[in-house]
């Protein structure tokens, strides 16, 4: 069954690859309609998340935001499939790092860094575009492997084609131990819900006590690595700009939990400016504080 699903996925990738971008977003609009109106994909989750995060919005404003969030979701899905057949030049043109020189001092000093993006805008193109625009010796993107082994292999192969090293989150400790001293950029999407409430950092985020992964702060402290926020903004449909900003150069000088709090505050600021571009279908608040 897994192999059959992979064949179907590969065929879908082939079809999407044939469609030019101007037509692709017509497909995306149809997908948005299906996800939102037909199957109601995680609709209750999206509605609850937005209602609780923006209680001051009117019902009409909340509905508008919900609709826009499904538009973002559909675009990211379609763009995630399209990237399998996009040439490197096109990836760079559509996913630009506007201040790559921000990392130059760290590279020249042979210093590893932790890069923290979020499920905001198009995070899927980020892994492919990083090696094409940054000069880091090694770039490790940590991700959760797909349950379908064939599909996981397909996705991993594609994401690695520009030079990044795709690694399972279950190898995080070993990878930091091995490469932290070797001029490496560790790329971790850090806004997903943790699996363990007691090991999480609890931060006031979007008006609620929210669990955050402990890993980024833990490894920043352990190996004294700078932590950098990665902001991905949609300029227009199919085009993104990526900007780096410093969270801390000295992780061990901050109180415990402060690195995570800095990330959460920065992310909240980004979300509140353009909330439709965040992944609201994620069960972000499923954990309760112990």
Rounded average pLDDT per 10-residue block, the chain, 290 residues = 73 90 96 97 98 98 98 96 95 96 97 98 89 93 87 86 93 98 96 93 97 97 98 98 98 98 99 98 93
HSE of 140, CA atoms in CB hemisphere, 13 A:
22
> What is the model's pLDDT at position 2?
64
> What is the model's pLDDT at position 280?
98
Distance, CA of 45 to chain centre: 19
| Interatomic CA distance for residues 119 and 139, integer angstroms | 19
| Interatomic CA distance for residues 279 and 270, integer angstroms | 13
> What is the model's pLDDT at position 99?
97
> What is the model's pLDDT at position 137?
87
> What is the model's pLDDT at position 1?
60
Cβ atoms of residues 277 and 123 within 8 Å: no
Rg (the chain; Cα; Å): 19
Domain locations in the chain? 88-277
With vertex at residue 267, the alpha carbon angle to CA 56 and CA 128, rounded to the nearest 5 degrees, is 130
The tokens for 143 are 């991700």
DSSP classification of residue 36: I
Let me know if 102 is exposed, middle or buried by CB neighbors in 10 A (0-12, 13-18, 19+): middle
Picking from 116, 119, 37, the residue whose alpha carbon sits closest to that of residue 73 is 119
> What is the model's pLDDT at position 57?
98
- C-alpha distances in Å from residue 214, one per residue of 165, 195, 196, 198, 275: 22, 11, 10, 10, 25
> What is the model's pLDDT at position 8?
80
Distance, CA of 236 to chain centre: 18
> What is the model's pLDDT at position 158?
86
């Amino acid at each position: 069954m897994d192999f059959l699903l992979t064949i179907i996925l590969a065929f879908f990738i082939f079809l999407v690859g044939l469609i030019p971008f101007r037509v692709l977003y017509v497909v995306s609009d149809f997908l948005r309609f299906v996800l939102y109106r037909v199957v109601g994909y995680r609709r209750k989750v999206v509605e609850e998340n937005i209602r609780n995060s923006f209680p001051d919005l009117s019902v009409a404003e909340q509905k508008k935001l919900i609709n826009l969030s499904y538009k973002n979701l559909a675009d990211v899905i379609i763009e995630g499939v399209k990237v399998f057949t996009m040439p490197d030049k096109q990836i760079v043109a559509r996913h630009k790092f506007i201040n790559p020189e921000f990392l130059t001092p760290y590279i020249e000093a042979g210093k590893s860094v932790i890069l923290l993006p979020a499920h905001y805008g198009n995070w899927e193109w980020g892994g492919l575009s990083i090696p094409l625009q940054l000069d880091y010796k090694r770039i490790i993107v940590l991700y959760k492997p797909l349950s379908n082994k064939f599909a996981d292999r397909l996705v991993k192969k594609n994401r690695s084609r520009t030079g990044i090293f795709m690694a399972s989150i279950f190898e995080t400790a070993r990878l930091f131990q091995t490469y932290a001293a070797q001029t490496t950029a560790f790329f971790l999407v850090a806004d997903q819900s943790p699996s363990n409430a007691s090991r999480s950092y609890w931060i006031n985020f979007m008006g609620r006590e929210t669990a955050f992964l402990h890993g980024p702060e833990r490894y920043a402290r352990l190996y004294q690595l700078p932590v950098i926020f990665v902001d991905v903004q949609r300029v227009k449909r199919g085009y993104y700009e990526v900007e780096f900003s410093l969270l801390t150069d000295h992780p061990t000088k901050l109180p415990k939990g402060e690195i995570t709090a800095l990330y959460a505050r920065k992310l909240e600021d980004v979300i509140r400016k353009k909330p439709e571009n965040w992944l609201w279908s994620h069960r972000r608040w499923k954990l309760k504080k112990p």
